[in-house]
Amino acid sequence: MVVEYFDGAGLLEPHGYRHSSRAAGVVHIAGQVGVDAEGRRVGERGDYAAQAEKAMDNVLLAFAGAGAGPEHIAHLTYYVVDLDAEKAEQVNRGIGRTLRRHGMQSVPGTMIGITGLMYRPLLIEINGTAVVDG
Model confidence pTM above 0.85: yes
Residues in the chain: 134
**pLDDT at residue 134 greater than cutoff 70:** no
Contacts of 111 (CB under 8 A, 6+ apart): 77, 78, 80, 83, 88, 91
Residue 7 one-letter amino acid: D
Sequence ranges of the domains in the chain: 4-131
Homologous superfamily of domain range 4-131: RutC-like (3.30.1330.40)
Q: Render pLDDT for 94-105 as a digit per residue (tens, 0 to 9).
A: 999 999 998 988
The dihedral formed by the CA atoms of 44, 50, 54 and 55, expressed in degrees to the nearest 10? 100
Q: Render pLDDT for 4-44 as a digit per residue (tens, 0 to 9).
A: 999 989 999 998 999 999 999 999 999 999 999 999 999 98
